[in-house]
Amino acid sequence: MVPYLFSFKWRSEYNILILCWLGWINIYLCRSVLPPILPLLAKEFNMTHAESGMLETLYLLDYLLAKVPIGLLSNRFGVKKTLTMGMVGYAFSTFLNFFATNTLQLYFLRFLLGFFQGIHLPVANMLLSEKFGKSQRKAIGFHESGPNIGNSIALPLTIAVVSIWNWRIAFLLFSLPAFMLAVFTYLMLEEDVYTDSVEKSFRGILNLKSYANILLPLIVAHSTYNLCLRTLFIFIPSYLIELKGFNYWFAGWISTLIPLAGIFAKISSGYLAEMAGRRNAICISIAISSFMILLLTVEIGLKLTYLVFILIGLSIYTYSPIIYSSATETLPRELKSIGLGLITMVGNMVGAFSIYLVGFTIDVEGYIFALRSIALLAFSSSIFIYLNFQN
């Protein structure tokens, strides 16, 4: 074992993997400031659940609008410039929340944040697919652990910052690492040699129809991922406070269990896909997550609540890297970022509208009905994916 460890050699593509991974962490540092302070914002700006959910809906609307156009831009101008532009953009979008004085300003800045953060996923995963080849499942799985690490850092740190200062300082502090990473990325990342003309890139979009039978189940899987994750991401702290009676601080800490469990889930997703097959890994993960969400609607003790949250994190976060690696393994180079953009665009569209609808449902019917509806839709999608997925 020891000689094996000493024989390990650092390869140049690992530098790219770490850089993209840090990018994901920074995205979720900036993005995940919102859920822990949402109850405070709702109180200060007098927002309903539906209006609070609109913050994430606007984020995802612009997040999805960026996907396919960014695939075209990265093909034309290269990964280095495209990724750096995104980092600078979402750093400023986070920083400016420090000066927000009304709900409209919060909405606009969240919308802007979504556009610039939407750049990373299709561009970075396309780059990793090119650099790692047959090892891309494991590389993408490791890369996808970045959001969970960012979440796991941001949630408790936001609570700590708010307890010492206020929510404005939290936005200010979390924007600083993104500014630094943008400079580092521009200096360290090599110029992309894979650039295509705009005309060739548009022809690539038309060629996607040849892969419709492969893309459709992946789109449904990513839509299910967004339905479950985005709504839980936004409303779990409020659910714990309003329905379970926990205080603000305790609810924030418990919510961290989901992204923490997801770190292990994403890193191990590539191995799980190899052992069980991509279709089985995705469908089993969705089925387990739907059952765990259903358990949130019944009376369970605190210890079981901890376990349910951990299992939600393990199951939901397992299948997102498998979706991305399935697309990059199947599509040709010129279609990878565009195909990933399409998958995530539709998935995030579902997430964007479902957050508002779930918030509205909570206002009208309550948390129990809303969570049971999410669980039923998720389980139904697992059946559809199993019947249509091509391994």
- What local confidence, expressed as pLDDT, does residue 217 receive? 92
The number of CA neighbours under 13 Å toward the Cβ of 335 is 19
Whether 230 and 215 have beta carbons less than 8 Å apart is answered as no
Number of domains in the chain: 1
Whether 62 and 361 have beta carbons less than 8 Å apart is answered as no
Whether 174 and 33 have beta carbons less than 8 Å apart is answered as yes
* Domain limits for position 146: 11-190+198-388
Confirm whether 289 is domain-assigned: yes
- What local confidence, expressed as pLDDT, does residue 5 receive? 39
What is the mean predicted confidence (pLDDT) over 82-96? 93
Residue 58, domain CATH: 1.20.1250.20
pLDDT-above-70 percentage for the chain: 88
Residues 31-45 pLDDT 10s: 888 888 888 888 889
Confirm whether 5 is domain-assigned: no
Residues 187-219 pLDDT 10s: 888 765 444 544 555 555 556 667 777 888 999
Contacts of 271 (CB under 8 A, 6+ apart): 138, 141
Contacts of 343 (CB under 8 A, 6+ apart): 215, 218, 219, 222, 323, 324, 327
Confirm whether 4 is domain-assigned: no
Better-predicted residue by pLDDT, 285 or 48:
285
pLDDT-above-90 percentage for the chain: 29
The two structure tokens encoding residue 325? 């690696």
Confirm whether 294 is domain-assigned: yes
Which range, 164-178, 243-257, 347-361, is most confident?
164-178
- What local confidence, expressed as pLDDT, does residue 63 receive? 62
Confirm whether 97 is domain-assigned: yes
What is the mean predicted confidence (pLDDT) over 348-373? 87
Residue 79 CA to residue 202 CA, distance in Å, equals 18
Mean pLDDT of the chain: 83
Which range, 3-12, 198-207, 325-334, is most confident?
325-334
Q: What is the DSSP letter of 8?
A: -
Confirm whether 129 is domain-assigned: yes
Q: What is the dihedral of CA 303, 305, 306, 312, to 10 degrees?
A: 150
The two structure tokens encoding residue 125? 């995963």
Chain-centroid distance, C-alpha 156: 18
Fill in the amino acid letter for 254.
I
Residue 385 has pLDDT above 90, yes or no: yes
Residue 262 CA to residue 32 CA, distance in Å, equals 15
Nearest alpha-carbon partner for 50 in 275, 153, 188, 58: 58
Rg (alpha carbons) of the chain, rounded to whole number: 20
Q: How does residue 1 score in pLDDT terms, banded at 50, 70 and 90?
A: very low
- What local confidence, expressed as pLDDT, does residue 223 receive? 93
What is the mean predicted confidence (pLDDT) over 291-302? 89
Intra-chain end-to-end CA distance of the chain, in Å? 34
Confirm whether 299 is domain-assigned: yes
Nearest alpha-carbon partner for 272 in 141, 373, 387: 141
The two structure tokens encoding residue 297? 């609607």
Residue 6 has pLDDT above 50, yes or no: no
- What local confidence, expressed as pLDDT, does residue 23 receive? 93
Residues 236-270 pLDDT 10s: 888 888 888 888 777 777 878 888 888 888 888 87
Residue 85 CA to residue 63 CA, distance in Å, equals 15
Q: How does residue 179 score in pLDDT terms, banded at 50, 70 and 90?
A: very high
The two structure tokens encoding residue 18? 């770490």
Confirm whether 6 is domain-assigned: no
Q: How does residue 2 score in pLDDT terms, banded at 50, 70 and 90?
A: very low
